[in-house]
Structure 1
Amino acid sequence: MDRSAQEAWAHERLRERQGTGARYDSPAAPQRDLLLARRGTAYFARKLNELDDEALALPSRVPGWSRRHVVAHVGYHARGLARLVEAARNGLDREQLAEPENQIEDVEFGATLPPHALRHLFHHAEVHLNVEWRDLDAPGWSARVRPLAGGVAVPVRETPLLRAREIWRRALDLDCGGSATDIPPDLLDPP
């Protein structure tokens, strides 16, 4: 049985175990890109969990950033994408902020959070983004949403691949044993 057949079989067994109340990604969702993003998130989480709280303060591979900065950036990146997807789910063509005064997403600020809050930021943002992707219907996956900061509207269908590229790269930026050989070949830059 080839890999795609194994994955299809495993998904079918999972659906049987979860029952009729479980919710799944839309058939219109870019399944391969979602898989790359979700595997990248799991990889980043594993690397983050390998770091004790003191190690978060050590330098990362990003000049001028500690590992704390990298974690804050990854959390805020997920939050931003989740807002774009949420806007599409709600039929809006522009990102919305429910409580703008509470949306402090400055990496420098995030890097000052206590370690448990920084880890929670990563986890909560990742869960929120995943829920937004899972609850998006076919029209939402075809939508384009303009970020609050302006600029070009983002095709929602591209958000999983944007996340995948960012999360895998940032896992290596933690500088805690990750290797470029761990990155799926689909995400490697062409020579």
Structure 2
Amino acid sequence: MNARPWLDLGTELFLGTVDRLTDEELAAPTALPGWTRGHVIGHVHGNAEALRRLLSWAATGVEQRMYADARQRADEIEAVAALPAATLRALAARSARELAQDMDRLPAPAWDQAVVTAQGRTVPAREIVWMRAREVAVHTVDLAHGVGFADLPDDFNAALAADALARHAAKGAAAGLAGWLTGRSPRPPELGPWL
């Protein structure tokens, strides 16, 4: 899967949506419990920085985890969400640009280097592109400001749905999902967080 076009489109949609939000709208709540739009933007910024650490690991072979721990991630999101609106927008744009530059510079063999995600999965560095494509697209929708899943490419939505299905199935929801997706059950199973 070449996820780079999806990443580039998702980044454009995300940053465009962030730029269209007024300063007051950044403080509005989202469907994510306890998170404002500022938190979502802070998270996407922090995700770019964390993925840059994984790219550095892939390039140098020197281990760099996405986050030291869950507390670091949460603290960073809170700190960035509290920044002035102009600073928040600038950080999101800068980290997205620098992540893209790091990807462009990564030597071809380094894409096969094993790295560890925040969830503890060991993956080849090439998966970083899909991880980021997912992040920017889904969180653009979370901003609830004119972009929905119907605005994303069908092939992206199919890949996202397959990814989410596999993750939920691995957590024990396979039978319920199979019944619902094949039309044998009128309702989907209760699902927890997808990551």
Superposed pair shares fold, TM > 0.5: yes
Kindly, what percent of the aligned residue pairs are identical? Answer: 34
Q: Distance in 2 between matches of 1:155 and 1:112?
A: 34
Q: Distance in 1 between matches of 2:87 and 2:105?
A: 27
CA contact (8 A) 1:172 1:179 kept: yes
Could you tell me which residue of structure 2 aligns to residue 42 of structure 1?
12
How many residue pairs align between the two structures?
154
Q: Distance in 1 between matches of 2:146 and 2:65?
A: 38
Match of 2:22 among 52, 71, 91: 52
Q: Distance in 2 between matches of 1:54 and 1:62?
A: 18
What is the one-letter code of the residue matched to 1:161?
W
Could you tell me which residue of structure 2 aligns to residue 63 of structure 1?
33
Q: Does 1:153 align with 2:106?
A: no
What is the one-letter code of the residue matched to 1:160?
V
Q: Aligned to 1:56, what secondary structure does the other structure show?
A: helix
Could you tell me which residue of structure 1 aligns to residue 132 of structure 2?
163
Q: Does 1:116 align with 2:86?
A: yes
Cα distance 1:35–1:150, how it changes in 2: closer, same or farther (>3 A)?
closer
CA contact (8 A) 1:89 1:135 kept: no
Q: Distance in 1 between matches of 2:26 and 2:59?
A: 35
What is the one-letter code of the residue matched to 2:45?
G
Detail structure 1 runs of 4+ shifted over 3 Å in the superposition.
none
Q: Aligned to 1:106, what secondary structure does the other structure show?
A: helix
The structure whose residues are more often helix, as a share, is 2
Cα distance 1:166–1:96, how it changes in 2: closer, same or farther (>3 A)?
closer
Cα distance 1:71–1:150, how it changes in 2: closer, same or farther (>3 A)?
closer
Shift of 1:179: 1.5
Q: Does 1:143 align with 2:118?
A: no
Could you tell me which residue of structure 2 aligns to residue 127 of structure 1?
97
Could you tell me which residue of structure 2 aligns to residue 183 of structure 1?
152
Q: Distance in 2 between matches of 1:178 and 1:139?
A: 36
Q: Distance in 1 between matches of 2:92 and 2:100?
A: 12
What is the one-letter code of the residue matched to 1:116?
A
Unaligned runs of 5+ residues in structure 1 are 1-29, 98-102
Unaligned runs of 5+ residues in structure 2 are 67-71, 163-180, 182-195
Encode CA deviations 1:155-185: one digit per residue, 9 max, x unaligned.
2100111111111000010111111111122
Q: Does 1:174 align with 2:143?
A: yes
Q: Distance in 2 between matches of 1:35 and 1:131?
A: 15
Could you tell me which residue of structure 2 aligns to residue 23 of structure 1?
none
Q: Distance in 2 between matches of 1:40 and 1:139?
A: 26
Shift of 1:151: 2.8
Q: Distance in 1 between matches of 2:11 and 2:125?
A: 19
CA contact (8 A) 1:72 1:110 kept: yes
Q: Distance in 2 between matches of 1:166 and 1:43?
A: 12
CA contact (8 A) 2:65 2:116 kept: no
Could you tell me which residue of structure 2 aligns to residue 19 of structure 1?
none
What is the one-letter code of the residue matched to 1:170?
H
CA contact (8 A) 2:44 2:139 kept: yes
